Amino acid sequence: METLLRKDRIEDVNPYLFQKIQTKISEEKKKLIPSWSVNTLRYSIIGLVLIMGLNVYSILNSNQNADSNIISQNDSYNQFIEDNHFDALSSLYPAELLSNE
Amino acid sequence: MDDIQIAQEIALGNQIVFEDFFNQHKLKVMNLCYGMVHNREVAEDLVQDIFIEIYSSAKYFKGNSKLSTWLYRIAVNKSINFLRKEKIKKFFVNIDDAKCITQSDDRADFSIEEKEKITNLYKIIDVLPSKQKQAIILFIYDELPQKEIAEIMDCSLASVEVLIHRAKKTIKIKTDKIYGNITEEG
């Protein structure tokens, strides 16, 4: 069995095989996208994601500011009531509004 | 020049070093692929793919093993992948239409009896468990020492000894069965 398998071994290789390999390598090199364009694409995507993140952050932040503005408005409004400024202004206010207050 | 330097030179595109490396290992890689697929043309295509892979991934060689061991590992994996794809193809294609890749009929230096025997041996080797098949092919077709086979297959020397022993035993039992039956019928 071993003798027959050893006889079956290949003793020579196609002399043009290395040339074929070289041709294939150069063909594949041509097909490859240059690394600078891949890097450019990568950094563009990172930049885009960062811009989107900043945008979302600024939107959320502006909402928070708006909420705090409402709170500060409420505080000043309460202060305004505590200081009885409504009474001082009562003559200028319509009777319906005063009854609601 | 050590293995790491050779790999670095190949990665840098040094054609002389790459050609030397190719010439040094082409026959062994060819025989490994041929032993796995039993077809010279397919084996040549695999050798091309293997050396292209070596060229493109030489920069990743860290010297944890010998460069030749790394090459044989790639060769074994490529051959196994090819056989897997062929198996899938055969599953979808009608057996009558399936192209038989065995090429023993083309060997002019083989007698009719030898051609028949080698075809049967191919069939027996092909149904061996994958590890046994790899071990016996690296041992017989590549004539590699068992220690190197162990490194290529990433297992112990004792395991390789067992794999080769079992493969030889299975081949012997099956060939005896085939030719025993022939003599009984004759």
Residue B163's domain is classified under what CATH number? 1.10.10.10
Q: How far is CA B169 from the centre of its chain?
A: 20
Q: Bigger pLDDT: B111 or B164?
A: B164
B97/chain A closest Cα distance in angstroms: 27
Of the spans A26-40, B25-39, B88-102, which averages the highest pLDDT?
Answer: B25-39
**pLDDT confidence of residue A31:** 77
Interface of B with A (CB under 8 A): 15, 19, 22-23, 26-27, 30-31, 34-35, 40, 43-44, 47-48, 51-52, 55-56, 104, 107, 109-110, 114, 117-118, 121, 140-141, 168, 171-172, 175
A–B: how many Cβ contacts below 8 A?
62
DSSP 3-state of A20: helix
Q: How far is CA A96 from the centre of its chain?
A: 52
Residue B106 to residue A27: CA distance in whole angstroms? 32
Cβ of A32 under 8 Å from any chain B Cβ? Answer: no
Cβ of A85 under 8 Å from any chain B Cβ? Answer: no
Q: What tens digit of pLDDT does each residue of B125-155 get?
A: 999 999 999 999 999 998 899 999 999 999 9
Are residues B88 and B171 both part of a single domain? no
Segment B20-25 shows an average pLDDT of: 94
Segment B33-50 shows an average pLDDT of: 93
Structural domain count, chain A: 1
Segment B19-40 shows an average pLDDT of: 93
DSSP 3-state of B109: coil
Residue of chain A whose alpha carbon sits nearest to that of B104: A8
Residue A80 in any domain: the answer is yes
**pLDDT confidence of residue B103:** 55
Of B15, B47, B171, the CB nearest to A17: B47
**pLDDT confidence of residue A69:** 65
Residue written as token pair 């092919």: B137
Residue B52: CATH number of its domain: 1.10.1740.10
At B23, the pLDDT band (50, 70, 90 cuts) reads very high
Of B76, B101, B126, which closes a domain? Answer: B101
Q: What is the DSSP string of B148-173?
A: HHHHHHTS-HHHHHHHHHHHHHHHHH
Contacts of A23 by beta carbon, 8 Å cutoff, 6+ apart:
none
Nearest to B101 by CA among B133, B130, B123, B132: B123
Of B46, B67, B101, which closes a domain? Answer: B101
User: Residue A100's domain spans which residues?
Assistant: 68-101
Q: Give one word for B117, left, alpha or beta, with left for phi > 0 and alpha for psi -120 to 50.
A: alpha
Please say if the pLDDT value at position B86 is more than 90: no
Q: Bigger pLDDT: B94 or A66?
A: A66
Do residues B170 and B127 make contact, with C-beta atoms less than 8 angstroms apart?
A: no
Residue A85 in any domain: the answer is yes
**Average pLDDT score, chain A:** 80
Please say if the pLDDT value at position B62 is more than 50: yes
**Average pLDDT score, chain B:** 87
**pLDDT confidence of residue B178:** 83
Residue of chain A whose alpha carbon sits nearest to that of B21: A18
Residue A41 in any domain: the answer is no
Q: What's the whole-model pTM score?
A: 0.70
B141/chain A closest Cα distance in angstroms: 6
**pLDDT confidence of residue A55:** 92
**pLDDT confidence of residue B8:** 93
Residue A90 to residue A97: CA distance in whole angstroms? 10
Residue of chain A whose alpha carbon sits nearest to that of B171: A1
Residue written as token pair 């003599």: B183
Please say if the pLDDT value at position B89 is more than 60: yes
Structural domain count, chain B: 2
Give the gyration radius of chain A's Cα atoms: 40
Tokens standing for residue B83 = 């056989």
User: Residue B36's domain spans which residues?
Assistant: 1-101
**pLDDT confidence of residue B26:** 93
**pLDDT confidence of residue B44:** 94
Question: Would the CB atoms of A17 and B171 count as touching at under 8 Å?
Answer: no
Residue A9 in any domain: the answer is no
Are residues B1 and B85 both part of a single domain? yes
Do residues B47 and B30 make contact, with C-beta atoms less than 8 angstroms apart?
A: yes
Tokens standing for residue B122 = 């191919």
Angle at A57 between CA A53 and CA A60, to 5 degrees: 140
Q: What tens digit of pLDDT does each residue of A12-58 get?
A: 888 999 999 999 998 888 877 777 888 889 999 999 999 999 999 98
Chain B residues whose CB is inside 8 A of the A24 CB are 48, 52
Residue written as token pair 């050396």: B51
A9-17: long-range contacts at Cβ-Cβ below 8 A with a sequence spacing of 24 or more?
A9/B31, A9/B34, A9/B141, A10/B27, A10/B30, A10/B31, A10/B34, A10/B40, A10/B43, A11/B27, A12/B27, A13/B26, A13/B27, A13/B30, A13/B44, A13/B47, A14/B44, A17/B26, A17/B44, A17/B47, A17/B48
Residue of chain B whose alpha carbon sits nearest to that of A25: B52
A16/chain B closest Cα distance in angstroms: 11
